[in-house]
Amino acid sequence: MAHEIPIGVSVAELRPTQITCGLREVELKRKAWRKADDTEKAHLLRTHVVPAVTGPKGRYYIVDHHHFARALIDEKAPLVALYIIAELDHLEKDEFWTFLDNSDWCHAYDEQGRRKALSDIPKSLGDLKDDPYRSLVAELIRAGGCAKTDKPFFEFLWADFLRRRIDLALMDQDFDAALARAKDLARGADARGLPGWCGEA
């Protein structure tokens, strides 16, 4: 039952496993948090349990819900509910990151979709860089343009697909027009290999 999930890990203790997030999406989650009363905030925390692994020095490295966690950091929320999916604190630092990389539990790509060194993944959620295309994908999912899947970091595959086909200037000038273009692209045959493709209908 959701109400039985304990909320007791400091948000400030969480470390990311990716380089970027969509700050527009983070802002939407911040607004939802600010609008919520105490009961609604508790519900949000219990329905957004953050999966994590323990790493060197017993630190918590989250492997999903980076936007929600970043929003909590920005809103100075104190605690979060955490679900530990693996205890890897016995591994040395380099071995730990290699394990995460080969388990699809980290995403070392920058805001231009370029592969970076694992050491470039920031130590703080507050240092995540903005990838506007990741925000565009979040809106595309809400609009029914593609479906959420269990494939790790699948949203970044969609972000990279859209990055190559939609000019950043269009998103800056008219986000709704960029979303309409994204929906057209998501229905096309070029997107059929992407996880969550909903077909041409």
The structure's pTM equals 0.93
What are the Cα distances from residue 143, in Å, to 82, 101, 139, 164? 29, 31, 6, 20
Strand partners, 86: 53
Strand partners, 61: 15, 53
Amino acid at 190: D
* pLDDT tens string 72-106: 999 999 999 999 999 999 999 999 999 999 999 99
* pLDDT tens string 189-198: 999 999 999 9
* Residues in CB range of 51: below 8 A, 6 or more apart: 62, 63, 64, 65, 82, 83, 85
Strand partners, 146: 197
Please give the DSSP secondary-structure letter assigned to residue 31.
Answer: H
What are the Cα distances from residue 6, in Å, to 14, 89, 90, 99? 16, 22, 25, 28
* pLDDT tens string 98-157: 999 999 999 999 999 999 999 999 999 999 999 999 999 999 999 999 999 999 899 999
Q: Where are the domains of the chain?
A: 2-130, 132-189
Q: Going along 17-167, which residue ranges are E strands?
A: 20-21, 50-54, 60-62, 79-80, 82-87, 129-130
Three-state SS at 25: helix
Sign of CA dihedral 149, 153, 157, 160: positive
Residue tagged 């060194």 (tokens): 117
* pLDDT tens string 43-69: 999 999 999 999 999 999 999 999 999
CATH architecture of 2-130: Alpha-Beta Complex (3.90)
The closest alpha carbon to 61, from 106, 103, 14, belongs to: 14
Amino acid at 21: C
The closest alpha carbon to 46, from 60, 36, 31, 54, belongs to: 36
pLDDT at 168: 96
pLDDT, mean of residues 18-47? 96
Please give the DSSP secondary-structure letter assigned to residue 1.
Answer: -
Amino acid at 163: R
CATH homologous superfamily, domain 132-189: Ubiquitin-associated (UBA) domain (1.10.8.10)
pLDDT at 2: 39
Q: How confident is the model at residue 199 (pLDDT cuts 50, 70, 90)?
A: confident
